[in-house]
A and B are shown apart, each in its own frame.
Chain A
Amino acid sequence: MNQEQNIEQQLWAYIDGISSNEERTSIQKMLQGNLEWKNKYHELLEVHQLMNSAELEQPSMRFTKNVMEEIAKLHIAPATKNYINKKIIWGIAGFFFTLIAVFLIYGLSQVEWTSATDSKPSIDLSRLSEVDYSKIFNNNFVNGFMMVNVLLGLVLLDRVLANKRKKFQKQA
């Protein structure tokens, strides 16, 4: 940034009243003793005043009438917070947190911590197809976990349906 730009930036902040007390004092000193700063300040102040003097544009005379005619056909939409049930959001969040936590615990429980003598990882990706997945998805731990998830899903569905039922009852 060149010096002129720097001066302008400081002076704009001063004119807008957003410079700190220290900056204000130092700018005031510069304005008293430095002609370049003084001239630039007056120039920017004029621009500032001109911009403040710019007039607002006026729309057509029928503007308000047009808007009111349009909104007469409409209803105010209910507030977002009223139709987004926080319990459902928390339920979904809980579901995913449980999913992550269980997989993490399960993964960590499979690691043989004592056998790691070499610090370099020795994973051979080409042998992934040799893994027996039936052992992973066939043990009690995973089955139990899937049951919990299904249960959580059913509870969630029940809540959604209960809310809808309440709404229908209110309308009736």
Chain B
Amino acid sequence: MSTGLGDNEIISRVLKGEQNAYAELVNRYQAYVFTLVLRMIKSREDAEEVAQDVFIKAYRSLADFRGESKFSTWLYTIANTTSITFLRKKKLDVHSLDNEKVFEAADSKDSGFRANLVEQKSRVNMVNEAIAMLSPDDAEIITLFYKAEQNLEEISRILRLETNTVKVRLHRARTRLKEKMEKNFSEEVKNIY
């Protein structure tokens, strides 16, 4: 049940010992964190585990949250580092901005059943599918910008990059997403344009 309290108020309650108040923060941000992690990691089971780990780590370090940024920005920074650590452990290629192999792999994985399903898919599903085909870096930046309500400065803080670099990366990610949609959902895209 939502308390209607602001994030900072809930945090001070938790810091004063009201551990149960943390559940409100988990409820509030679980879908955002889970979506972000899932789009980087691509596996639902692993994403659930990593997302839980993110909230546990955030709880442990809650005393270090100084309120200089939004709680969500701080939380997504933890989500970003935890996901990258997970991917490194799994030896997946997270630095794949210019790695065409990732795209080729995603294409071959999805193209087999795409033709039969394309007509049944709603626009929303189409976007989600297209984002799932992107590399972890591209999917993360698009999710942070469109779904996690983070502006360019906040994203630069989360990813520890310059704002201009974030701008360029976002532009590239959107271009790749557009290409993915045109390539894999050509019929639907025609109807949209």
Q: Is A9 in the interface zone, CB < 8 Å from B?
A: yes
Report the bound CA distance from A126 to B180 in whole Å.
Answer: 66
Q: Are B171 and A9 in contact (CB under 8 A)?
A: yes
Q: Are A64 and B23 in contact (CB under 8 A)?
A: yes
When each residue 159-187 of chain B gets 1 if its CB lies under 8 Å from chain A and 0 otherwise, what string results? 00000000100110011011001000000
Q: Are B177 and A63 in contact (CB under 8 A)?
A: no
Q: Are A67 and B128 in contact (CB under 8 A)?
A: no
| Residues of chain B with a CB closer than 8 A to A47's CB | 174, 177-178, 181
Q: Is B27 in the interface zone, CB < 8 Å from A?
A: yes
Q: Is B64 in the interface zone, CB < 8 Å from A?
A: yes
The secondary structure that dominates the A interface is helix
Q: Are B56 and A71 in contact (CB under 8 A)?
A: yes
Q: A63-B34, A70-B56 are in contact. Are A55 and B171 (CB under 8 A)?
A: no
Q: On chain B, which size bracket covers the interface?
A: 35 or more
Whose C-beta in chain B lies nearest to the C-beta of A5? B175
Q: How far is the CB of A144 from chain B (nearest CB, A)?
A: 43
Q: Which one of B13-21, B69-77, B83-91, B113-121 is at the A interface?
A: B13-21
Q: Are A56 and B32 in contact (CB under 8 A)?
A: yes
Near A by CB (< 8 A), chain B positions 51-73 give: 51-52, 55-56, 59-64
3 cross-chain pairs, A with B, having the tightest CB-CB distances, nearest first:
A79-B63, A56-B31, A54-B127
Query: Which residues of B pack against A, CB within 8 Å?
Result: 14-15, 19-20, 22-23, 26-27, 30-32, 34-35, 38, 47-48, 51-52, 55-56, 59-64, 123-124, 126-128, 131, 142, 146-147, 152, 167, 170-171, 174-175, 177-178, 181, 192-193
- A selection of 5 A-B contacts at a CB cut-off of 8 Å is A63-B26, A64-B23, A71-B22, A72-B19, A78-B63
Q: A18-B152, A66-B52, A76-B61 are in contact. List 7 more A-B contacts (CB 8 A).
A: A9-B171, A56-B32, A57-B128, A59-B47, A60-B48, A70-B56, A76-B60
